[in-house]
Amino acid sequence: YAHYMLLPDSSRPYYRLHLQPHMLECMLRFRLGAHCLPITEDKWRVVGRNGRKVYIPRARRICRKCNSGIVGDEKHMVFECAFLHDLRTQFAHLFFPDMSMKEFFSQSDQHGVVRFIYAALYRMQLPWELCLVHVVPCQTNPFSVLMFSVFWCAITACAGWA
């Protein structure tokens, strides 16, 4: 995750864009891993009557939309998932061959990047709370949810939304 999502502050200009709060929240959740893609949502599974949680290995957290058998992580959603092929065609100006996640998130059309992420998460039919303001985050890694909360409070305070 950090290999392709951890970028220097100078390459995250969407923080300074004039975005609707729900679009910024959606983007921040995606970048922080506080979303409901299989890579985070399927990390733990409750089994048995006692509600014991069992860790699911990364290789078994596959995409449920394209039936490719590939791990359903952020990189798969952006570049590989066949379910989102028509969306990538619609946003073709954002993609070029052999593009990395760093290059995708560092490009000049940040409004387009945010719109693509928002539309892709919507098409993946994730819970609506992912892209709505002031709603409890989906069940993901507690650290990611905490980091999202800290960033969201900072962004809303700076933007005057709070």
Residues 6+ apart with CB under 8 A from 76: 63, 70
Q: Give the start-end residues of each E strand in 56-158.
A: none
For residue 153, which phi and psi values (nearest 5 degrees)? -60, -40
Q: CA of 160: how far to CAs of 104, 114, 123, 129, in Å? A: 29, 20, 30, 22
Looking at residue 147, its pLDDT comes to 57
At residue 77's C-alpha, the angle toward residues 161 and 68, to 5°, is 155
Give residue-wise pLDDT tens across range 89-136. Answer: 999 999 999 998 888 988 888 889 999 999 998 888 644 344 343 333
3-state secondary structure of 151: helix
3-state secondary structure of 162: coil
Give residue-wise pLDDT tens across range 33-68. Answer: 888 888 988 888 888 788 888 899 999 999 988 889
The pairs formed by 56-63 with CB atoms below 8 angstroms and a separation of 24 or more are: 62/38, 63/38
Give residue-wise pLDDT tens across range 70-89. Answer: 999 999 999 999 999 999 99
